[in-house]
């Protein structure tokens, strides 16, 4: 259809993204080596979410695509988070 | 012949959403069982080799970059570079699976496999942890195999000039699938290998 709109991502962007992802992986591994109790898991999940967002935006082209894709991904993520919250409400107040 | 790249891409994303919810369900199961058995999950998690987990994480991240770059290469009509990057992605997927093979083999040697005698003697939480570990990393490894078949077809089509600078939606869809595999691993890795 609108082939002319295809955005060509320069190679250096992908190198920079890989660098950021490897750096965040290193931080995750280091952070779990020190004892922080429950904070360990929270920090690891937070960093994983940032990594996931970077993959979605740059590798999966959400940043360069039409907005509808980002909206759909946001909705699916919201459904998943809602299921987690509802499940744990059930377990906490059983 | 009529072609609708946008519809093709939306179709791929819809499929990806079903995959996210499939793994999402498993992540819910994981989080509930970990909430019920925090100590067992912690001890069982320390049985896993975080070094091999980290190595596989790095391999998947690099392979995600190479397949993303192959799209830019094909758009710039650089068929040779695109093919090189696709072969590199394929080989890294293979290395990931070889590492997984050695990792699982070591677990089997130590008597850790679903419904093994060693596991039966350990607590309920340990059985659940290893059950989820084998099922989730196994399902993920299966996705790697499917991704390799997908990339194999893409390589063939690029060779035959059926994927070109103005007709590369199949390559983009393959890339999306491969990034999904990477995305799932990003969450599997800290939840299984880095419990501390």
Break chain A into its structural domains and give their ranges: 1-63, 66-94
CB contact under 8 A, B57 and A25: yes
Listed by number, the residues of chain A in 40-69 with a beta carbon closer than 8 Å to a beta carbon of chain B are 40-41, 44-45, 47-48, 51-52, 55-56, 58-61, 65, 69
Residues B169-178 pLDDT 10s: 999 999 999 9
Paired tokens of A17: 């993204």
A90 or A18, which is more confident: A18
CB–CB of A86/A42 below 8 Å? no
Query: Which of the following CATH numbers is that of domain B5-193: 1.20.120.80, 1.10.340.70, 3.10.450.50, 1.20.1250.20?
Result: 1.20.120.80
pLDDT tops 80 at residue B1: no
Q: According to the model, what pLDDT value does residue A1 have?
A: 40
Q: According to the model, what pLDDT value does residue B116 have?
A: 85
What is the average pLDDT across B151-156?
98
Paired tokens of B178: 């491969």
What is the average pLDDT across B15-25?
97
Please give the mean pLDDT across all residues of chain A: 91
pLDDT tops 90 at residue B185: yes
Domain residue spans in chain B? 5-193
The minimal CB distance from A22 to the residues B4, B61, B180 is found for: B61
The minimal CB distance from A1 to the residues B4, B35, B58 is found for: B4
Is residue A5 very low, low, confident or very high in pLDDT (cuts 50, 70, 90)? low
CB contact under 8 A, A76 and B17: yes
CB contact under 8 A, B187 and A84: no
Residues B41-67 pLDDT 10s: 999 999 999 999 999 999 999 999 999
pLDDT tops 80 at residue B94: yes
A34 or A71, which is more confident: A71
CB contact under 8 A, B20 and A84: no
pLDDT tops 80 at residue A3: no
Which residue in chain A is spatially nearest to B32 when comparing CA positions?
A88
Specify the pTM.
0.94
User: B30 CA to chain A: closest CA distance, Å?
Assistant: 11
Contacting residues of A for B68, CB less than 8 Å apart: 9, 14, 58-59
Q: According to the model, what pLDDT value does residue A2 have?
A: 44
User: B55 CA to chain A: closest CA distance, Å?
Assistant: 10
Q: Which long-range contacts (CB under 8 A, 24 or more apart) does B99-105 make?
A: B99/B52, B99/B55, B99/B56, B99/B59, B100/B56, B100/B137, B100/B141, B102/B52, B103/B49, B103/B52, B104/B134
């Amino acid at each position: 259809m609108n082939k002319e709109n295809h955005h060509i991502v320069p190679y250096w962007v992908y190198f920079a993204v890989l660098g950021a992802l490897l750096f965040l992986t290193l931080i995750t591994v280091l952070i779990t080596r020190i004892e922080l109790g429950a904070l360990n898991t929270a920090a690891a999940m937070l960093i994983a979410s940032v990594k996931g967002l970077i993959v979605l935006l740059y590798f999966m082209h959400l940043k360069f695509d039409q907005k509808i894709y980002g909206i759909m991904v946001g909705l699916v993520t919201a459904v998943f988070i809602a299921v987690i919250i509802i499940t744990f409400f059930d377990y906490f107040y059983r | 012949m009529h072609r609708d790249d946008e519809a093709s891409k939306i179709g791929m994303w819809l499929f990806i959403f079903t995959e996210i919810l499939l793994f999402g369900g498993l992540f819910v199961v994981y989080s509930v069982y970990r909430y019920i058995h925090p100590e067992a999950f912690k001890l069982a998690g320390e049985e896993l080799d975080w070094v091999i987990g980290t190595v596989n994480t790095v391999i998947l991240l690099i392979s995600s970059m190479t397949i993303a770059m192959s799209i830019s290469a094909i758009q710039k009509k650089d068929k040779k570079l695109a093919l090189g990057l696709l072969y590199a992605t394929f080989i890294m997927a293979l290395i990931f699976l070889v590492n997984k093979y050695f990792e699982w083999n070591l677990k089997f040697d130590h008597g850790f496999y679903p419904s093994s005698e060693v596991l039966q003697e350990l607590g309920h939480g340990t059985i659940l942890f290893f059950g989820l570990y084998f099922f989730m990393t196994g399902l993920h490894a299966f996705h790697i195999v499917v991704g390799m078949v997908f990339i194999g077809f893409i390589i063939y089509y690029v060779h035959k000039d059926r994927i070109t600078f103005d007709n590369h939606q199949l390559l983009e869809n393959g890339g999306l699938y491969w990034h999904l595999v990477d995305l799932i691993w990003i969450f599997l890795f800290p939840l299984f290998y880095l419990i501390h």
